[in-house]
Chains A and B, each alone.
Chain A
Amino acid sequence: MLSQSEIEGFMEEATVVPQPVIKAQDLNLVFGSGDNAVHALKNVNLTINKGDFVSFIGPSGCGKTTFLRCIAALEQPTGGTLSVNGMTPDEARQARAYGYVFQHAGLYPWRTIAKNIKLPLEIMGYDKAEQERRVAEVLKLVELEQFGQKFPWQLSGGMQQRASIARALAFDADILLMDEPFGALDEIVRDHLNEQLLQLWARTDKTIGFVTHSIPEAVYLSTKIVVMSPRPGRIHEIIDSPLPKERPLDIRDSAEFIEIAHRVREGLRAGHAHD
């Protein structure tokens, strides 16, 4: 017999049971064959739950971008299984499961910001009124309301990247995949965008996969940090962050933050030692 309190304990646990959104099992990806074969991903096992903010960090060639591209069905794994929302990555893409943000904003220069954000909506066949509504909504979300009618070259790099995030948000996918989105921006702009991204994440409850080179960025943003190492590309360590969801910028001076950053750095160093 269970006591009342024990049952309640179970119930409580049941409500926080994590829902896996992305699940990789023994994922392998080999480019080329024979002597020229490159093992881009080797035996990658990872589960990303709903609402997670997962950063992938590691040196060049560790497969972090490749893994993100596998989730997006831009690369085809050569072995293992990968499911997104319980579907294959291809099906998930058809079902508009994710928005993808590239390293460069990649806005079409011949379209205004609003029209750039409309691009996925046009392709996905939303009607005109709905397009307008969503564009206005996401422009507000990234604080670019005043810039809808501007052309990309009229905006700074940081604003362009925000517009590209708005574009990825426009069709309201549950998953946001970001491949070093702030890599090309300067430190101050990057801090600001990191802060905004966290707020956006808190408001929208999306699951985010985030590739980065920067340890502070990974630690500041993530609930889960995946440290990867190269040749062959693989997961070296997965660090769950104990930091609270509410994170002001100065959390980066706290002892906890420094402790996690230290662990990430150690992990990166150990991963490199295999070379």
Chain B
Amino acid sequence: MKTFLSVLTVVAGIIGIWYLACVPMNIKGVLDAAERAGAVVEPATPKARRDLGAMGLVVNNSFAIADVWSVDRPRLPAPHQVAIELWETTVEKKITSKRSLIYHGQVTLSATLLGFAIGTGLGILLAVGIVHSKVMDMSVMPWAIVSQTIPIIALAPMIIVVLYSIGVQGLLPKAIIAAYLSFFPVVVGMVKGLRSPDHMQVDLLKTYSANTAQGFWKLRLPSSMPYLFASLKIGIAASLVGAIVGELPTGAVAGFGARLLAGSYYGQTVQIWSALFAAAILAALLVALLGLVERFLLRRMGVTT
């Protein structure tokens, strides 16, 4: 209850700041519209208003403040506008509609999940190799780190173009970009996790003359589970970002990325914001789902949380 209250307080604070920020952000647009409608605004010309700055406009035209939260194409949409848009495009629209966020979400989600699966699989394989082979440790790890220093926004179009030239398009290129972002935390976490057994636990297996495979399945893998799940949670969020970024350069017609892009073409800020929130909610749901799996698994492994 206490945590719930504190979370609620923070959320209320953020929404409050958001509503306040709408005033200076949207005042100019409101005044331009008011002038066109014949109202007297101060100062009278658009040029003079541009020079005055947002705060000056608010002070001079306090009558217009009430309208800043209901602009059609605001610079900054008010929270309730985003909420209404979210509601209309998820619950009220049919899922098959091109305007339904559920439809777009499911497009992005499938790329996210495929990318996450590829990234996690690859990450675990690389980690197993790194832990068991000195050569891989020295050769793969630096590249894995370097790979993450390249901005994905620069790399994504190249991946898509290259894959298109060999005839691969649709879901897979997006999934590969998602995998590119999600494999790294898995590699780092799994390497750490697989190396987490202490000397004594390793020596114990040695006294049984256990082979490497037995050491892996009976000691290293179970020890790495908490590390793996921490990585998976980062990985799936990164995967979602990757899938959205992968939708941007193609001019994709579906997916959160496409929704963001279309919104920015037509100045539909409400649409952009609601797509952003939908993506954030989806990410939160995915992370929460992983959290549930983690709790179930760790409980079966005798760990109480």
Contact = CB atoms under 8 A, between A and B. Distances in A.
B204 interface: yes
B207 A106 contact: no
B208 interface: yes
B200 A106 contact: yes
Given A119-B218, A122-B218, A74 B302 contact: no
Contacts of A110: 222, 225, 301-303
Contacts of B209: 93-94, 96, 123
Contacts of A93: 206-207, 209
Nearest to B214: A123
Nearest to B198: A106
B210 A100 contact: no
A124 B208 CA distance: 7
Interface in A83-111: 93-94, 96, 98-100, 102-104, 106, 108-111
A165 to B, nearest CB: 13
A119 B206 CA distance: 12
Contacts of A124: 208
- Residue in A104, A109, A112, A123 whose Cβ sees the most chain B Cβ within 10 Å: A123
A228 interface: no
A104 B218 contact: no
B302 A153 contact: yes
Instruction: Classify the secondary structure of A's interface with B.
Output: loop
Interface residues of B, number: 19
A152 B209 CA distance: 24
B13 to A, nearest CB: 40
B303 A104 contact: no
B252 to A, nearest CB: 44
Nearest to B204: A106
B219 interface: yes
A102 B203 contact: yes
B298 to A, nearest CB: 8
B9 interface: no
Contacts of A109: 301-303
A72 interface: yes
A104 B301 contact: no
Nearest to A98: B207
B212 interface: no
Contacts of B200: 102-104, 106
B205 interface: yes
A120 B206 CA distance: 10
5 contacts: A74-B207, A99-B207, A106-B201, A110-B301, A123-B214
Given A96-B209, A112-B302, A123-B208, 17 more contacts: A74-B206, A74-B207, A93-B206, A93-B209, A96-B208, A102-B204, A103-B200, A106-B204, A108-B218, A108-B219, A110-B222, A110-B303, A111-B302, A120-B208, A123-B214, A123-B218, A151-B302
